Structure 1
């Protein structure tokens, strides 16, 4: 078949090709236009500065949190310590004939009955929750006569009334050691009433509110309070009294001894003749009484001062108070017991500030009534 020459295939038109990029060898430099990616412009110094500021602010924040936590812990512990040191609140629901009733009853001790029907006073401590309102301690007497010069001794029961109590604490966080209560022989309260009343008003038999405030201020004053109690104790007023110690945690006699010995040494320099040989011998007798083993919590230790200032130490390792007390030591030198008593009653530093405050409030309850009326009501 013949073809038309005009219909012969013409050459196909082709589009112009784009120029090829130059071939890159390992010796040629890489251009920005050939990478296909944007390159960031980095400032190393600026990045280092920002990193340093971040780390500095992070450290400041962490240290601030640490100090804030420590401060909160100490502040909370201090507030708890202050609350625990407050003396037990007193009750106004007592009858008017009760020796712990009367004016200012809102500040008086709560008196309740335990399961045995005894009057007890709450201490505010969970381990040792109550103290008995009265305790009975036998007093040894002799019945010497012309025909029987070596007559036997007789133990007469003597009742003691609680004046005030508080908790002994140590260290700045207030670790509790023992609860201490101050008892005075009920029959000897009148002598203390009379002496303190006459100190403020020589013509009075009881003190009115303004006079009681004056006496309270005097007993709370570091110098005047110590001078007052030192003079009373030196004169044998009150004639018989007791400090009752009950540990709130397991301890030992050596630990208790060290604390009491340090207290006596702190008060002794103000006493006449405290550096003589006899006082040193009396301190040896005191230490010997504590050469024993452990003292479990809730056990009773009594420090008893008689009319001559003689100190007797009794320990109750048994059950209920007063059933298994044993005499573990005596000290005849009156200065030892007087220094020990001042450690709880007066001065710039006492063993338990709540106990001193509670004792002074108990004294205020005595002096607001006529001399002799408190003992008659207690009995």
Structure 2
């Protein structure tokens, strides 16, 4: 460093240090002599009338910290952009479901996801264990944008309207059509009939689940999806649904084959179930660490997808009541 500041000494330093026998001795003398020289130079400057030297530039270490801070902010900004959904933002609209989870986008687009069509969020909430208020995952219910007109058409059909919704006696006598629809969607029996009609009529839905506590894909499959299917009337009521148990069992095997990925499901990972017009169920997995969607397998047995989505959308023992209530409000608003 000293040699760089005193160019005239560079040849001396280079030649001296290339001599192994005297390097140590000469180097120590050189340091001593340099200190004296620098002292004399500073003394001379103080005795003359020359102006004081300009302030020295900030040390490189400070500049390095500044650059590091700027880069860190840029990285955090890019990370926050993905953290807020990484989906095509039609209107930059987000829903906060839980303080520990990334916000859910109101719009899901095929431009940024492997999904089959564009969706809009119609229900959101958190799943809570029945034995406590312990929240285990956040959930979003999405409906295909193209199918919103189809919902009104199905609900207002003669069959549903005259038989289950627009009843003009008792508590229904002085209510509007929308109020009657809301009551029907909150009725355990009527809501199952309405949801079955929507699913059979080709309304497409997508459900996204995001764990609040660390889990794994196998546990979610067996403890959530398979358990839900085995609790269904089709699986347990053999007299009312003859032969349905065998169909559900076949569907469960298809689900286990569709889960062609294994491993952890950590906070802000997503497990996605998409139901198309034929009630064919497609699974996806989003890994927050790798920032990627993975398309898993599908289930061809339509009864399986129908049962699963009915368990989330109907009032008969819903898996996430908060999201279902939100779904009912959105449906009534769009009639």
Question: TM-score of the superposition, structure 1-length normalised?
Answer: 0.55
Matches of residues 303-342 of structure 1 in structure 2 within 5 Å?
303-318=273-288, 324-342=292-310
Contact preservation (8 Å) 1:123, 1:166: no
By how many angstroms is 1:314 displaced?
0.4
Q: State how far apart, in whole Å, the 1-side matches of 2:305 and 2:258 are.
A: 14
2:193 corresponds to 1:266: no
Q: Which residue of 2 is the match for residue 144 of structure 1?
A: none
Structure 1 counterpart of 2:272, from 296, 299, 302: 302
Between the aligned partners of 2:263 and 2:248, the Cα distance in structure 1 is: 26
Q: State the match for 1:244 in structure 2.
A: 208
Aligned with residue 292 of structure 1, among 241, 246, 262: 262
Asked if 1:275 is matched to 2:245, the reply is: yes
Are residue 128 (structure 1) and residue 101 (structure 2) matched?
yes
TM-superposed deviation, 1:264: 1.3
Q: Tell me which moved more, 174-183 or 124-133.
A: 124-133
Residues 340 and 156 of structure 1, relative CA distance in 2, 3 Å threshold = closer
- When residues 355 and 306 of structure 1 are mapped into structure 2, their CA distance, relative to the original with a 3 A threshold, is same
Structure-2 separation of matches of 1:294 and 1:244: 17
State the alpha-carbon separation in 2 of the partners of residues 339 and 266 from structure 1.
10
Please list, as runs of the form range in 1=range in 2, the aligned pairs for 1:87-126 lying within 5 A after superposition: 119-126=92-99
Question: Does the 8 A contact of 1:251 with 1:294 survive in 2?
Answer: yes
- Which of the two has greater helix per residue? 2
Taking the aligned partners of 1:156 and 1:350, their CA distance within structure 2 comes to: 25
1:163 and 2:122 correspond: yes
Q: Quick check: 1:221 aligned with 2:187?
A: yes
Structure number, greater radius of gyration: 1
Q: Which residue of 2 aligns with 1:343?
A: 311
Q: Distance in 1 between matches of 2:280 and 2:161?
A: 29
Cα deviation, residue 266, structure 1 = 1.6
The offset of 1:209, in angstroms, is 7.4
Shift of the 318–121 alpha-carbon distance from structure 1 to 2, 3 Å rule, reads closer
Kindly indicate whether the alpha-carbon contact (under 8 Å) linking 1:123 and 1:165 is maintained by their aligned counterparts in 2. no
Q: Secondary structure at the match of 1:348?
A: coil
For the residue of structure 2 that corresponds to 1:119, the secondary structure is coil
Which SS does the other structure have where 1:245 is aligned?
A: strand
Structure 2 gap segments, 5+ residues each: 1-83, 167-173
Deviation of residue 310 (structure 1)? 0.6
Looking at structure 1, the residues matched to 267 and 115 of structure 2 have their Cα atoms a distance apart, in angstroms, of 30
* Alpha-carbon distance in structure 2 between the residues aligned to 1:361 and 1:156: 25
Cα separation, 2, equivalents of 1:227 and 1:165: 22
Unaligned runs of 5+ in 1: 1-113, 139-154, 368-379
Q: Give, in angstroms, the shift of residue 184 of structure 1.
A: 1.1
Q: 1:259 to 1:197 in 2, by over 3 A?
A: same
Please state whether the residue corresponding to 1:127 is helix, strand or coil: coil
Residues 42-121 of structure 1: pairs in structure 2 closer than 5 A: 119-121=92-94
Between stretches 304-313 and 169-178, larger displacement belongs to: 169-178
Does 2:139 correspond to 1:180? yes
Contact (CA 8 Å) 1:122, 1:129: kept in 2 or not? no
* Alignment equivalent of 1:231, drawn from 190, 193, 197: 197
- Distance in structure 2 (CA, Å) of the matches to 1:115 and 1:279: 34
Q: Secondary structure at the match of 1:183?
A: strand
The answer on whether the counterparts of 1:236 and 1:308 sit within 8 Å (CA) in structure 2 is: no
Conserved in 2, the CA contact under 8 Å of 1:160 and 1:185?
yes
Give the secondary-structure state (helix, strand or coil) at the position aligned to 1:275: helix
Residue 303 and residue 137 in structure 1: after superposition, are their counterparts in 2 closer, same or farther (change >3 A)? farther
Q: Are the counterparts in 2 of residues 236 and 309 from structure 1 also a CA contact under 8 Å?
A: no
Correspondence for 1:49: none
Q: 1:156 to 1:215 in 2, by over 3 A?
A: closer
Count of residue pairs brought into register by the alignment: 230
Partners of 2:332 and 2:295 in 1: CA distance: 33
Contact kept in structure 2, 1:282 and 1:331, CA below 8 Å: yes
3-state SS of paired residue (1:158): coil
CA deviation after TM superposition for structure 1 residue 287, in Å: 2.1
Question: 1:293: Cα distance to partner?
Answer: 1.4
Residue 200 (structure 1) shift: 3.5
Q: Which runs of 4+ in 1 moved over 4 A?
A: 114-118
